[in-house]
Structure 1
Amino acid sequence: MKILIAPNSFKESLSSVQISKILAEELGKEKNFQSILLPLSDGGDGFLEVLEFIYGNELIKQEFPVEFSGEKFSAPVLFNISGKEVFIESAEVIGLKKLPQQKRNPLLINTFPLGKLILDLLNLKNSDSVPFFEKIIIGVGGTSTIDFGIGAVNALGVKFLDIHGNEVEPIPENFLSISDILFPLSSNHSAIQPFNHSIIKSFNSSILTCIVDVQTPLLGENSAVDLYGPQKGASKHDLEIIKKGIEKIVELLIKKNFITDSTYINGAGGGLASGLKIFFDAEIVSASNFIFEKILAEKELSDIDFLITGEGRFDIQSFEGKATGELIKKFANKEKKIFLVCGKIENDVKNLLPENVQCFQLIDLFKDEEESKLKTVEGLKSIASKIKEIILK
């Protein structure tokens, strides 16, 4: 029997690669089971780990120096030689995991370090220091920032000026002071112009691709700022300042004909992907499309008998473009049993699941959610054992 094991990560607990291996080890005790491991990523924490697991020796890892919120460290990037691509995980540069709780304040930090890393790569493009690449693919998710990507585009040469023409440090706290936007060579909006200098003459509009985990709009009702801001350390007062500041920049962009008042602004990574798209014509690709078109397409899955998938918290947003929800949709009509293994499954989404889905929650095995996080490995082994019994019946 062939079992596809394709979970997403459990935030603040285990990566999707770790979860896949734990489930496979337990199921592997039955000799008639053949497990195919395909850990998922929505572009956030563990994005590079998943790519390493899937592509293996096809990838070359290099470390680049980064400075974020006063801390210096190295961030990994992966080069795919055959695909002429380089992969970046935003969470490895500006992620929540890079900041202790007391330093999380999205008013005072921005995406500049990520833009600087992109610029470092572009500086080395066509040199002997790095493998040749034509695309930079950025996993956007798990960030500690909510700056609309303004810090990143600043690192790439865009300047933000106050009413007196002085350059403004582009952190959300200062956004309301911004009155003008200045490009390095031209005020005319072009994906090529901001990069059209000596180090990037080969730049084209499709060099940047952002893999996003959510379709939630950055602003408006039920915005990404409101939904994800609190977990990034923002108070209600902070959120209002951030929203008003981003709205001010959006107004400027409309005046300069960069966007229209109806332009959809994706909220992934605190608006990082949308900022790179608006200023530098980056392509935005949903994580599920990336997985299905780039990874699943290369796998032979027609003869799969069972699917095991899951994530830390499965809720209504899981069906809004996230990898786990999209995988369930993909297998919903294939008359194959799907086992959904999660830390917690919200009640309002259970009725939306196809009939061939059987649910397992870690919180059902322990006294509370906190204990389930501490004993995730134990819980996963127990669930895998139950799944094995069900399959063998």
Structure 2
Amino acid sequence: ECISSVSLSSLIAEEFDDFPDAELILKPISDGGDGFLDVCRFHFSGKILNYQISTPYDNSELICPVLYNIDSKTIYIESADLLGLKVVSAEFRNPLKLSSKGLGELLLKIENDVSSGKININKIIVGIGGTATIDMGIGACSALGLKLFDVNDKEILAIPENFNKVEDIEWDNKTFPFRIDLIIDVDNPLLGRTGAATVFGQQKGASESDIVILENGFNNIRNFLQNKDITDSSNPTFGAGGGIPSLLYLLLNAKIRRAKDFILNDLGIGRLKGKVDFVITGEGAFDHQSLMGKGAGIILQEFEKRSSKIFLLCGIIRNEVNKKLPDNIFPIEINSFFQNKDESILNIESGIRLACIKIKNNL
């Protein structure tokens, strides 16, 4: 991403300092992906705690920040900070070999801090998005005791390239002294044409043959879970974050929450309905998926009938989506101020300032 939601909000506020008739309410949002932790820190404040966990691709370690809000007894985690494309360099982006084990390790370390009295929480909220992994959350659960066995009853590494070899699964129910909420922004099932591997695999480095292996492996794991009476694997949200919600929901009783719920209720956007004259929101590339649970799409749906004008800032907006927008929504493409996409990325702050001038001229 070129600019975070929090930085974008601050920049827009600066540009409206000389606009006396406007009272701006800053409410940066996140639908669970990159920037989730910054948004949570803006809204909830708190203390940043750092935990040392394994990277998704080997046994080397990375430092993962989390936000601890003492008053609400809540820890906020951005999955992209420990499993994301931003922490997995291009040379390691092979989803067949990547594991979400770091998430399981992080949960255990937080549990240890709760047990020792270092922190006091009753809830963890995890923003799911921007992940490099596509492993159903099996890696996370492997750090919590889940084991996979092949036809020779030999334990095998819990990574996707081995899922089709699994002949047995061992799991001792693990419980935590806190609730786990997963914030998801997509309605994709785990399997099939709109599933985790098929839809998101290529952008995470998977080839067509890799996607077939992933799909077959997921099917195999699902069958074993069903044989153990662990059902409901058809949940329409299980494809988010490389399938992480599936195993965390089925084995850890995690609660799956839509980004819309988090944005409107936790971030307080819903309390602004009917109280604002215009809205400024945005997204890097605005397309049909943006209207299906993504942050900017949620804002448009909530305010298009309640505000006189909505200004949609985006790097680019797909023409087929632009044509369907209501008359009170004004899209502004940052790319249109520059010669090409690369130039607009390098000069994103200048582009935002030019967009703000355009907004003020239309108020």
TM-score normalised per structure 1: 0.88
Counterpart residue number, 1:356: 328
Alignment of 1:294 onto 2:259 = no
**Distance in 2 of aligned mates of 1:123 and 1:164:** 35
Counterpart residue number, 2:360: 388
Residue 46 of structure 1 aligns to which amino acid in structure 2?
G
**Distance in 2 of aligned mates of 1:341 and 1:42:** 17
**Distance in 1 of aligned mates of 2:263 and 2:235:** 26
What's the CA shift string for 1:37-82, capped at 9, x where partnerless? 11111111111100111123xx121111122034422111111222
**Distance in 2 of aligned mates of 1:79 and 1:179:** 40
**1:264 Cα deviation from its structure 2 partner:** 3.6
Q: 1:262 to 1:387 in 2, by over 3 A?
A: closer
**1:165 Cα deviation from its structure 2 partner:** 2.1
What's the CA shift string for 1:359-378, capped at 9, x where partnerless? 10112222222222222111
What SS does the corresponding residue of 1:30 show, helix, strand or coil?
coil
Counterpart residue number, 2:114: 125
What's the CA shift string for 1:77-109, capped at 9, x where partnerless? 111222221111111111100021122111111
**Distance in 2 of aligned mates of 1:55 and 1:362:** 30
Stretches of structure 2 that go unaligned for 5 or more consecutive residues are none
The number of residues matched between the two structures is: 361
**Distance in 2 of aligned mates of 1:288 and 1:55:** 18
**Distance in 2 of aligned mates of 1:278 and 1:265:** 12
**Distance in 2 of aligned mates of 1:390 and 1:29:** 15
Counterpart residue number, 2:216: 244
**Distance in 2 of aligned mates of 1:347 and 1:217:** 28
**Distance in 2 of aligned mates of 1:256 and 1:67:** 29
**1:33 Cα deviation from its structure 2 partner:** 2.0
Alignment of 1:64 onto 2:36 = no
What SS does the corresponding residue of 1:231 show, helix, strand or coil?
helix
> How high is the sequence identity, in percent, across the aligned residues?
38
Counterpart residue number, 2:203: 231
Counterpart residue number, 1:93: 82
Alignment of 1:46 onto 2:55 = no
What's the CA shift string for 1:311-366, capped at 9, x where partnerless? 00111111111121111111111142000110111122123322210110112222
Counterpart residue number, 2:301: 329
Are the aligned partners of 1:219 and 1:265 in contact in 2 as well (CA < 8 Å)?
A: no
**1:388 Cα deviation from its structure 2 partner:** 1.0
Are the aligned partners of 1:163 and 1:178 in contact in 2 as well (CA < 8 Å)?
A: yes
**Distance in 2 of aligned mates of 1:217 and 1:351:** 29
Matches within 5 A, 1:103-122: 103-122=92-111
**Distance in 2 of aligned mates of 1:95 and 1:283:** 21
Runs of 4+ in 1 over 6 A off after TM superposition: none
**Distance in 1 of aligned mates of 2:83 and 2:189:** 21
TM-score normalised per structure 2: 0.94
**Distance in 1 of aligned mates of 2:288 and 2:25:** 27
Are the aligned partners of 2:30 and 2:39 in contact in 1 as well (CA < 8 Å)?
A: yes
**1:297 Cα deviation from its structure 2 partner:** 5.7
Counterpart residue number, 2:124: 136
**Distance in 2 of aligned mates of 1:99 and 1:292:** 32
Residue 257 of structure 1 aligns to which amino acid in structure 2?
D
**1:231 Cα deviation from its structure 2 partner:** 1.6
**Distance in 2 of aligned mates of 1:339 and 1:157:** 49
Are the aligned partners of 2:190 and 2:234 in contact in 1 as well (CA < 8 Å)?
A: no
Q: 1:253 to 1:352 in 2, by over 3 A?
A: farther
**Distance in 1 of aligned mates of 2:237 and 2:28:** 29
Q: CA RMSD in A?
A: 1.7
Q: 1:126 to 1:297 in 2, by over 3 A?
A: farther
Aligned partner (choices 156, 161, 179) of residue 144 of structure 2:
156
Alignment of 1:209 onto 2:181 = yes
What SS does the corresponding residue of 1:107 show, helix, strand or coil?
helix
Are the aligned partners of 1:219 and 1:267 in contact in 2 as well (CA < 8 Å)?
A: yes
**Distance in 1 of aligned mates of 2:42 and 2:234:** 40
Residue 109 of structure 2 aligns to which amino acid in structure 1?
D
Are the aligned partners of 1:145 and 1:269 in contact in 2 as well (CA < 8 Å)?
A: yes
Counterpart residue number, 1:5: none
